[in-house]
Amino acid sequence: MEWHVASKIRVNLCHPWSFPPSFSVQWITGAQSLPLLRLQSMTDATPITNEDLSFISGGRRIAVQAWRNELPSSPAIVVLHGAGGMDAGHRYIAQLARTVAPYGFHTFLVEYFDRTGTEYANETTIKTHGPAWLETIHDAVDYIAALPGVDADCIGTFGYSLGGYLAVAHAAQDERIRAVVELAGGIDAETAASATRLPPLLIVHGREDQRVSINSGMELQRIAQKLRTPVQTLFLPGERHLLSPGATLVAVRQALLFYDAHLKHCAALV
């Protein structure tokens, strides 16, 4: 299933990463209309607390920024940053994680670069440290699943750019992951060749992305369909590697709907 966003997106922003009541999308076209209006009436957001957590992986301490709601048991979303780590434009990933938490999820931004002391990842760094980062993400899921208030049967991941590639590669190996949202990423050649399963996927990509081509998102879609994985795509016209505030709101709202469908009450499906 692919959704196409109309060229005009009208957003009245009270804050660039909030969900103002006046948010509106001109229209969504495609095989099936996108049910964004359902979230416009969402009023059951719960208070959240921010915590600085950590765990040990490969003998190194890994920092975790956590946003947790006050519900007795909630699904968890593991958030993975891109190649720029927590600096520069990639800081907005933390803001996205914080935005999702009040809607019935615990979110955990895992600073997996701590495992290798990496500040910025280029192609060589990724090839060298990729296996260690994947091991750290697996350890992060172990740690998060054991935390009080986390429904260990309902864990998903969200990855941006490099984090998207890692989220997909990890989910192909770890059946505890029940849903993946990947933004501006794709699937590496080794995972594409070896994967026998993937959880439900939401692929979000800017059509004008000059850093990671839209073809990467389309290739992931092809692999998912080959594996008979439920897959949704949100390919955004005019958007680049770092989404505009308006497009980000569209993407996050669709991610919330996707997680709501695949993580809420998923323990009953185990």
How does pLDDT run along the chain (270 residues), one tens digit per residue? 544 443 333 333 323 333 333 333 332 333 233 333 334 434 457 788 999 999 999 999 999 999 998 888 999 999 999 999 876 545 668 888 888 888 999 999 999 999 999 999 999 999 999 999 999 999 999 999 999 999 999 999 999 999 999 999 999 999 999 999 999 999 999 999 999 999 999 999 999 999 999 999 999 999 999 999 999 999 999 999 999 988 988 998 999 999 999 998 775 554
- 143-178 per-residue burial string, b: 16 or more CB within 10 A, e: under 16: bbbebeebbbbbbbbbbbbbbbbbbbbbbbebebbb
Give CA–CA dist 240/206, Å, rounded.
Answer: 5
Neighbour-count burial of 42, counting CB atoms closer than 10 A to its CB (0-12 exposed, 13-18 middle, 19+ buried):
middle
Q: What is the CA radius of gyration of the chain?
A: 17
Structure tokens at 43: 């009023």
Give CA–CA dist 203/183, Å, rounded.
Answer: 6
User: Which amino acid, residue 247?
Assistant: A
Give CA–CA dist 180/252, Å, rounded.
Answer: 13
pTM over 0.75: yes
**Beta carbons of 58 and 89 less than 8 angstroms apart:** no
Q: Are strands 2-5 and 177-183 parallel, antiparallel or unpaired?
A: unpaired
